[in-house]
Amino acid sequence: MRAFAVMVYRQLKRFSRARSRVAGMIINPLIWMIFFGVGWSGVFKDAKIFGGIDYLTYLAPGIFAMTVFNQSFISGVSVIWDREFGFLKEVLVAPASRKETIAGRIIGDSVVATVQGLVILLLTLLLTELRVAGILPALGVGLLLAVAFSSFGVSLATKIQSMEGFQMIMAVLMLPIIFLSGAIYPVSTMPWWMRLLAYINPLTYAVDGARNMLTGVEGIFPLSTDLAVLGFLALAFLGIAMFAFERSTIE
Amino acid sequence: MYAIKVENLVKKFGNFRAVNGISFKVKKGEIFAFLGPNGAGKTTTVHILTTLLKPTEGKAEVAGLDVVREAKEVRKKIGIVFQDPSIDRDLTAYENMLIHGGVYGLSGAKLREKIEGLLKFVELWDFKDKLVKHFSGGMQRRLEIARSLLHEPEVLFLDEPTLGLDPQTRDHVWSYIETMREEHDMTIFLTTHYMEEAEKLADKIAIIDHGKIIAEGSCEKLKRMVGNDVIYIKVENCAECFKGEFIRSCKVLQDGRIRIAVENTAEALPKIFELAKENGVKIIEATYHQPTLNDVFLHLTGREIRDEGGEFFRKAIARARMRR
Ligand SMILES: Nc1ncnc2c1ncn2[C@@H]1O[C@H](COP(=O)(O)OP(=O)(O)OP(=O)(O)O)[C@@H](O)[C@H]1O
Ligand SMILES: [Mg+2]
């Protein structure tokens, strides 16, 4: 367990050190909230599609989930950075269990991503009418989401050979996952093919669950379904990442 | 007992043979240097020996264990300083050591004691709480060396330990390596393309080029491949050849100097002075030329081992940029 604990410690320490970088990461979702959210909330003043709440409040859980998703996915994929810059080698020559080491890294990164989500939630509290009691359970959803996507990122990284590949993945996957999650507009009004994609998108379940907890609006799925799907995906992806990393080489 | 045993090792990347059938043995407690130009296959060999790459063909044993079948056991016995920096720049020196110790299963007071000892050894104790990204290249290298010693490896791999360092820092690193060997009886496998480094540190040198070992032996043995040491002497009055069983050949040159080929300058020079004194000859000038490892490489390949430090820096700078 020592290697696991050490890796969690490493990720948290790195996070606490990189303050300016953290600030940069929080600014992006805030810009979404303020400019995109406030801008459209005027348009949607009388809209009924958001379950009886104003658009900004509707958007906030989406931005929370989006932040956690962004952070965890990028930190997972950035294992390839580690390969480029040596830390991966450092881990691979060590006798410690690779499964344990990478699990420690993923959990550490997930906690970091969730904390960033929390910061966003607290800031959006000033603009919206979120239910404060929903924050703690929403963080649970955030953590599951983070574990799932950080693991997914690690699995991808073990297969990508180059920095170009990294940029490709980011460009091709990130935005569609966000747009197809119901984070910024409802899934229910999408055309059938988009809805289909949304249903197989893990982020959809996190947005749905977090929105239900934070605003009280009824979700697409029952809360138990959201949690079950996320929990299952988090565990499954974590397992896959651990196996993928175990067999990864530096070739 | 051998610390490293390699037989017919081949590593292919696609169709390209980066390592092309090398064999060598390193005795326990020995410093063994792999000397070769860029792209010779040094790092690839180190990666195979440290279980990071699987060989395409051949067999390698480290500390008596097979690097493929017993990879995990091998990992417990080795330490490595990679060619490219591999420390956490966003953490302090101390935290880097702590994490490395943890990954190797060390903890508690014993770990803290070891960290203190090693950071003092590489003269970084005063900077232990500084972020590594504010360290100079030499300080980072020293930290990596300290880190690689934390779990007391039996065999230590140093991949170009002084690449891109200034001469003074290089001297420091050399003295650390010598101390390590003396105090811990560690086997050290080092790669370099600096001849002075191989010459100064290594008990045995293998010269590698295009994935093949083209010569192997002690520094003296390698130099003998290209010939003897040559001493040039200028004397007062008439020049005449010296005679002695240590003299390989002797010739009076047209300019009046005497050219004496010997086995070993260090031993021969005093004898020559003695002979001169006995014969009442007064030596007014003595110079000598010793073949260098570069002469050896030149002799074997027709090329020189170029120092591509400049390229390394460009690469390092490009990397540092990408990080941001
Ligand atoms: N992963 C890889 N895929 C393809 N080719 C590779 C790979 N790694 C190394 N090579 C090639 O194998 C050859 C040997 O590389 P290696 O890094 O072992 O050389 P080296 O002796 O360490 O050189 P340097 O002094 O530049 O470090 C080079 O031509 C290199 O381009
Ligand atoms: Mg190399």
Query: Phi-psi bin for B290: left (phi > 0), alpha (psi -120 to 50), beta?
Result: beta
Please work out, in degrees rounded to the nearest 5, the angle formed at the alpha carbon of residue B52 by the alpha carbons of B47 and B58. 70
What would the pLDDT profile of A100-142 be if each residue is shown by its tens digit? 999 999 999 999 999 999 999 999 988 888 899 999 999 999 9
Chain B residues with CB inside 8 Å of A2's CB?
A: 102-103, 105, 107
Question: Between A13, A92, A96, which is nearest B52 by CB?
Answer: A92
Q: Is residue B264 part of a domain?
A: yes
What ligand 1 atom has the least distance to the C-alpha of B19?
14
> pLDDT by residue for chain B (324 residues), tens digit each?
899 999 999 999 999 999 999 999 999 999 999 999 999 999 999 999 999 999 999 999 999 999 999 999 999 999 999 998 888 888 999 999 999 999 998 989 999 999 999 999 999 999 999 999 999 989 999 999 999 999 999 999 999 999 888 888 899 899 999 988 888 889 999 999 888 899 999 999 999 999 999 999 998 888 887 777 888 888 887 778 888 888 888 888 878 888 888 888 888 888 888 888 888 888 888 888 878 887 788 778 777 776 544 444 445 445 554 443
Please, are residues A212 and A60 in contact by the beta-carbon 8 Å criterion? no
Number of the ligand closest to the Cα of B40: 1
Q: Residue B197 burial (CB < 10 Å; 0-12/13-18/19+)? A: buried
* For helices B167-184 and B137-149, angle between their N-to-C axes, nearest 10 degrees: 10
Q: Can you give the pTM of this predicted structure? A: 0.84
Say if B285 falls within a structural domain: yes
Question: Are residues B197 and B256 located together in one domain of the fold?
Answer: no
Residue at B305 is within a domain: no
How many angstroms separate the CA atoms of B273 and A201, rounded?
88
**Same domain for B152 and B71:** yes
pLDDT mean over A196-203: 95
Which residues from A are below 8 Å from B88, CB to CB? Answer: 10, 14, 87
The number of domains in chain B is 2
The predicted complex's ipTM stands at 0.86
- Report domain extents, chain A: 2-246
- Specify whether B166 is located in the same domain as B236: no
Q: CB of A155 within 8 A of CB of A244?
A: yes
| Token code pair at residue A7 | 């890796």
Residues B29 and B136 in one domain: yes
Joined tokens for residue A204: 């959809």
Tell me if residue B282 falls in helix, strand or coil: coil
- Cα(B151) to ligand 2 centroid in Å equals 24
Handedness of CA A94, B77, B87, B94 (dihedral sign): positive
Residue B295 lies in a domain: no
Structure token digits, residue B205: 């040198």
Same domain? For B215 and B276 the reply is no
CATH number at residue B23: 3.40.50.300
Relative to the alpha carbon of B211, which ligand is closest?
1
Q: Give residue ranges with CB within 6 A of ligand 1.
A: A 251; B 13, 18, 36, 38-44, 83, 193
Structural domain including B173 reads 2-221
Count of CB atoms situated within 10 Å of the CB of A191: 7
pLDDT tens profile A134-176: 999 999 999 999 999 999 999 998 888 777 877 888 888 999 9
Question: Residue B90 — φ and ψ, nearest 5°?
Answer: -85, 5
User: Does the residue B76 lie in any domain?
Assistant: yes
CA distance B250 to B255: 15
Do residue B28 and residue B168 come from a single domain? yes
Going by their DSSP bridges, the two strands B247-252 and B258-262 should be labelled as antiparallel
Residue of B nearest to A78 (CA): B323
- How many angstroms is it from B18 CA to the middle of ligand 1? 6
Q: Which residue in this structure is represented by tokens 């070891």?
A: B114
State whether A86 and B84 contact (CB < 8 Å): yes
For residues B103 and B177, membership in a common domain is answered with yes
Report if residue B249 sits inside a domain. yes
B52 CB neighbours in chain A (<8 A) are 89, 92-93, 249-250
In a domain, B248, yes or no: yes
Q: What is the DSSP string of B170-228?
A: HHHHHHHHHHHHHHH--EEEEEES-HHHHHHH-SEEEEEETTEEEEEE-HHHHHHTT--
Same domain, B135 and B166: yes
User: Both B100 and B33 in a single domain?
Assistant: yes
Closest CA to B49 of B123, B158, B140, B150: B158
Mean pLDDT over the full length of chain A: 90
The verdict on residue B310 lying in a domain is no
State the smallest CA–CA distance between residue B52 and chain A in angstroms.
Answer: 6
A247 in B contact zone (CB under 8 Å): no
Same domain, B232 and B215: no
Residues B161 and B273 in one domain: no
Q: Do B171 and B246 sit in the same domain of this protein?
A: no
Distance CA A53, CA B179 (A): 72
Q: Residue B284: CB partners within 8 Å, gap ≥ 6?
A: B234, B235, B236
> What CATH number did the domain enclosing B249 receive?
3.30.70
**Cβ-defined contacts of A14-17 (< 8 Å, 24+):** A14/B88, A14/B90, A14/B91, A15/A112, A15/A115, A17/B90, A17/B91, A17/B131
Q: Do B90 and A18 touch (CB under 8 A)?
A: yes
Task: Determine the residue of chain B that is closest to A1 in CA distance.
Answer: B105
The pLDDT tens digits for A45-91 are 877 778 778 899 999 999 999 999 999 998 888 887 776 666 778 88
Among B9, B11, B12, B13, which is best to mutate for testing ligand 1, by the most ligand atoms less than 8 A from CB? B13
